[in-house]
Amino acid sequence: MTTTRTNSVSRPGSLPERSPEEIWAGLMAGNKRFQDGNPAPREYVHRRAGLANGQRPRVIVLTCSDSRVSPSLVFDQNLGDLFVIRTAGNVADPVALGSIEYAAEFLDARVLVIMGHEKCGAVAAAVSGETPPSPNLEAIVDKVRPALASVKGRAGGEELLRLAEQANVHQSASDLLRNSPLLQQRVKAGRLTLIKALYQLTTGQVIHLPD
Ligand SMILES: [Zn+2]
């Protein structure tokens, strides 16, 4: 990764910039293909060569490291399409945040998808109330805990977990805006659109979470 702006590919005279709505619709169409088990045919060799000198992803995805939640597969996208940050529980620590800022500021990515998922181990660990066995694991759970405060007492068992998973996505979104004036400014200027989503393990569907 370089922090020079020349790394991004400007395409003068190419297709007009897609709106955030159009970009999201493209992701949803890809997700539908994924759900149906009908991915678009991929050509990697020319694509790879074409991207070797620069990238211009329109989408940043912050999601969980969970092996069942693979953004390029879930949205049926190709090389160069998604700038992906994955941490357990999709928590945004300074390094994750810096990675998001890089894609927004230097690659001019326009849509940031924050995607939690069903049966997230990090959320379940926070819900369990148990003390994690290492300070590093504790750092993850510690980021998820505030999300629980808003849903505690509203349900129990599986339903509490479901509510906590949604609350954790909202938590990640508000954390990253609070901790990044750069992202805040880009959202305010209309150069970055945040989309909150939840991935369903069984159906493969990505649900858009309302604010
Ligand atoms: Zn997870």
Tell me the per-residue pLDDT of 48-89, one tens digit each, with 9 for 90 and over.
999 999 999 999 999 999 999 999 999 999 999 999 999 999
What is the whole-number distance in angstroms between the Cα of residue 186 and the centre of ligand 1? 27
Q: What is the average per-residue pLDDT within 111-126?
A: 97
Residues of the chain above pLDDT 70, percent: 93
What is the whole-number distance in angstroms between the Cα of residue 66 and the centre of ligand 1? 5
Q: Tell me: pLDDT of 10 over 70.
A: no
Q: What is the average per-residue pLDDT within 19-30?
A: 98
What is the whole-number distance in angstroms between the Cα of residue 171 and the centre of ligand 1? 14
Q: Tell me: pLDDT of 2 over 60.
A: no
Indicate the pTM of the whole model. Answer: 0.91
The pLDDT, as a whole number, for residue 152 is 86
What is the whole-number distance in angstroms between the Cα of residue 87 and the centre of ligand 1? 8
User: Whole-angstrom Cα distance, residue 182 to residue 156?
Assistant: 38
What is the whole-number distance in angstroms between the Cα of residue 182 and the centre of ligand 1? 27
What is the whole-number distance in angstroms between the Cα of residue 156 and the centre of ligand 1? 19
Domains in the chain: ranges and CATH: 18-208 (3.40.1050.10)
Q: Which CA distances in Å does 122 have to 105, 142, 166?
A: 29, 10, 13
Tell how strand 111-117 and strand 193-199 pair up.
Answer: parallel
Q: Tell me: pLDDT of 143 over 90.
A: yes
What is the whole-number distance in angstroms between the Cα of residue 200 and the centre of ligand 1? 11
The pLDDT, as a whole number, for residue 14 is 59
With tokens 């909150």, the residue in question is 196
